[in-house]
Amino acid sequence: MIIVLAKNFGRSQKQKLFELLTRHGDSFRESKLGGQQVIVVPETNSNQLSEVLSRLSGIERVIDVNEPYQLCSRNAKLTDTVISVQEFKTGGGSFGIIGGPCTVESEKQTIEIAIRVRKAGAAALRGGAFKPRTSPYSFQGLKESGLKILAKARAETGLAIITEAMNSEEVSLVAEYADVVQIGTRNAQNYRILEKCGEMRLPILLKRGFSCTLEEFLMSAEYILAGGNEQVILCERGIRTFETYQRYTFPVGAIPALKMLTHLPIIVDPSHAAGRAEFVPSLSFAAAAAGADGLLVEVHNDPKNALCDGRQSLTPKEFEIMIKKCKKIAKLVSK
């Protein structure tokens, strides 16, 4: 249940409300929804609570939500959440395009790619400075000097910057340079980092954990919203199944399901799902046709020599051709 408070809801009214909830033995949490002050009561022991609350003054609305995730639920907020930073916009009919290298390798490489992805229609540049690598022997990213390069790329191109953080300290550091913090698949259920993201006041791009159900994915997003940060972009990046031919399996059906379950924007990362560049266009077309609110695609000016994920990276030209088609498909399904 979500209790929406009127703007002028006073301290003593709040005290009374908390006492009432405590008397029922209900746990509750203060948060925000659509910019309004709300109290989330995930479960109540009273079957008359809605009725009692609707009689209290200063309570604007009581929303019954039956799912374990509350603030993320489509029932909680009927209008789509739209996230916009710089010229990047996703959700509510806007198809946001993000392109860039898996990892920031040098200033020259990053700026060259930034210029090319912008020309191809991207409004955001994604490049990793802190890289979660399966092997400790692989390149781990340029860290803070990579963030500085990304900030330079924004200054040169006007692209919004998205980059990953892997722990709470990195979230704060990334927020000093970037416009959006990415939480990768491996940290999708790291609840301490999600709590940290809830304290932030910039958008968070949350990838689906590769073994998370949709409900678990939305519960992760709920951590961020419960903390007071409503700006969450969900990213489907493929899940692990018995199939190993592609790197992961892209569950296209997750897109319409998430659109039904939540008001948050959902973008698709076809690159990590496919693991091979030749499959990226087909998965991107499918994502756009299924109603995704955008794409996050790995693009490299020299994929063969990329320090990370070159095998799945498109060249800027391939990206440009693909994005043109994706935009048409998105429009066709009324984006």
By the 8 A CB rule, do 239 and 210 touch?
yes
Contact 183, 204 (CB under 8 A): yes
3-state secondary structure of 267: strand
- Name which of 3 and 214 has its Cβ closer to ligand PEP: 214
Q: CB of 274: closest distance to Mn ion in angstroms?
A: 11
Interacting residues of 225 by C-beta distance below 8 A, sequence separation 6+: 31, 33, 71, 72, 198, 232
Contact region with ligand PEP (CB under 6 A), list: 1-9, 32-40, 77-85, 180-188: 180-188
Q: From Mn ion, ligand PEP, none, which one binds at residue 77 (CB under 5 to 8 Å depending on kind)? A: none
Is 89 a binder of ligand PEP (CB under 6 A)?
A: no
Quick check: 74 and 261 in contact, CB under 8 A? yes
In whole angstroms, the minimum distance from the beta carbon of 59 to ligand PEP comes to 41
**Site mask, Mn ion, residues 85-124, x = CB under 5 A?**
-----------------x----------------------
- Stretch touching ligand PEP by CB under 6 A, among 18-26, 88-96, 136-144, 178-186: 178-186
Kindly state whether residue 141 participates in binding ligand PEP, applying the rule CB under 6 A: no
Polymer length of the chain: 335
Q: How far is the CB of 94 from ligand PEP (least distance, A)?
A: 21
Contact pattern from residue 209 through residue 238 relative to ligand PEP, giving x for each residue in contact according to CB under 6 A and a dash for the rest: ----------------------------x-
Residue 309 within binding range of Mn ion, rule CB under 5 A: yes
Give the whole-angstrom CA distance, residue 227 versus residue 39: 12
Out of 94, 163, 185, 229, the residue judged to bind ligand PEP by CB under 6 A: 185
SS3 content of the chain, % helix, strand, coil (to 5): 40, 20, 40
Q: Is the CB of 39 or the CB of 252 nearer to ligand PEP?
A: 252
Binding of ligand PEP by 184 (CB under 6 A): yes
- Helix (H) or strand (E) holding 32, with range, is strand 29-33
For 333, the token pair is: 């399904």
Amino acid at 176: E
Interface stretch with Mn ion, choices 110-118, 190-198, 231-239, 304-312 (CB under 5 A): 304-312
Q: Which does 185 bind (CB under 5 to 8 A by kind): Mn ion, ligand PEP, none?
A: ligand PEP
Number of residues that bind ligand PEP (CB under 6 A): 10
Q: How far is the CB of 281 from Mn ion (least distance, A)?
A: 17
DSSP string over 163-200: EE--SHHHHHHHHHH-SEEEE-GGGTT-HHHHHHHHH-
Binding residue for ligand PEP, selected from 255, 272, 277, 303, defined by CB under 6 A: 272
Instruction: Measure the CA–CA gap between 89 and 143, rounded to whole angstroms.
Output: 27
Nearer to Mn ion, 222 or 309 (CB): 309
Query: What one-character DSSP code corresponds to residue 247?
Result: S
How many residues sit close enough to Mn ion to count as binding (CB under 5 A)? Answer: 2
CA distances from 217 to 82, 209, 213, 289, 293 (A): 19, 7, 6, 22, 17
Give me 224's structure tokens.
Answer: 């961020």
Number of helices and strands in the chain (H, E): 11, 14
- Smallest distance, Å, CB 166 to ligand PEP? 10
Q: Which range touches ligand PEP (CB under 6 A), out of 148-156, 179-187, 195-203, 284-292?
A: 179-187
CA distance 91 to 335: 9
Q: Say whether residue 255 binds ligand PEP (CB under 6 A).
A: no
In the complex, which residues of this chain contact ligand PEP (CB under 6 A)?
Answer: 102, 128, 132, 184-186, 207, 237, 269, 272
In the complex, which residues of this chain contact Mn ion (CB under 5 A)?
Answer: 102, 309
